[in-house]
Amino acid sequence: MDTPFCSSSVHTPSISLHDAPPDNCQSEPDLSNASYRNRLIHRHRRHYEAARNLYAALDDHGHSGIYWRFMDCRRSAHFCVDPSDGRVFVAANSCHLRYCPLCSQARKLAIEANTAAWLSQAAYPKLLTLTLKHTTEPLKDQLTRLYQSFTKLRRQLLFSTNVTGGIWFFQVKRSPSGSTWHPHLHCFVAGNWLPQKALSAAWHKVTGDSYILDIKMIRSVKTAAAYVARYATTACNITELSVEHAMTVAESLYRRRLCGTFGECRKRRLTARPDRQPRDCIRLVSFSELKAMAATSQLAGLVWYSWLHNQPIDTSLDFTTLKFQDPQPLLSPRADKPKQLYFY
């Protein structure tokens, strides 16, 4: 009988006990013994190393405990099955730190999806980029000035009468010479066309010395949303910065938002997640336990294979032997964590 497990079919039929994967069906041999956390780290190795160095430095400079919070991220992981569609996924604890690549990826995807959803129905969406004149002022002071200038711009008659709403994202880069910072805002705006010359004059009026900006129509909603969402969680690529400069960015952005909405978008939640809730799903044993059981338990092997190959599992199966026994809620990642550390 033909086996469906190593085929290249585009269909993803539910997996049942009668369709156990063959013993010789290998997947990701280099990560076969890796924990869930290490599997995620493997995908973001450069970013993870840069973030670890950053949080170690912050921990040494008065932010006690932040390094170990980062190192604890995704260590407690459990398998779950969604009874509505048979999807197998892993739920794990999160550090919720801004520069953690394991946390920021999920947040980025949510922001990207919600931004694209708004852009697809916005009236004549445009991408507006606002910059400040290069200066040697501390980055923290430049950020304050940039945010305040953007608020003032939105109150200008040219802007307020032609723009119905929008979404903004902050980004910062180090100049090629390495001597100055280059903070700027990417803004998606909806409404009438804004003449660049008039808009530049309005920007110069509120900043006092800056007039360089760019505005253009959005041709591809998906591409535009993906472009700005890269910085929606971290504002910069810390792998391109020294630890010292990364600390400057982290401390300058402390308690500051990296993206936001205004006008008709004000009530839109950019970080809203899908309707799927882990607490509505069947919680199974831990990642390490199920991985160990997969070699001897046919049911555990099916769950493992379903997750590994992103295929739904037969929800009529009896998961009693694999259910997690602790009656505590599924996830409470922030219950014992100082919330203010999230801003780092």
Report the domain count for the chain: 1
Q: What is the pTM of this model?
A: 0.80
Q: Is residue 74 part of a domain?
A: no
Chain position carrying tokens 């069947």: 282
Q: Please report the pLDDT score of residue 279 as a whole number.
A: 60
Confidence of residue 228 (pLDDT cuts 50, 70, 90): confident
pLDDT digits (tens, 9 = 90+) for 27-82: 443 677 889 999 999 999 999 999 999 999 999 988 889 999 999 999 999 999 99
* 300 CB-near residues (< 8 Å, 6+ apart): 290, 293, 294, 322
Q: What is the CATH number for 203?
A: 3.30.70.1910
pLDDT digits (tens, 9 = 90+) for 281-297: 899 999 999 999 999 99
| Parent domain of 198 | 104-263
Distance between CA atoms of residues 76 and 330, nearest Å = 11
Confidence of residue 179 (pLDDT cuts 50, 70, 90): confident
Q: Is residue 273 part of a domain?
A: no
Q: Is residue 122 part of a domain?
A: yes
Alpha-carbon distances of 145 from 40, 80, 231, 290, rounded to whole Å: 38, 47, 20, 53
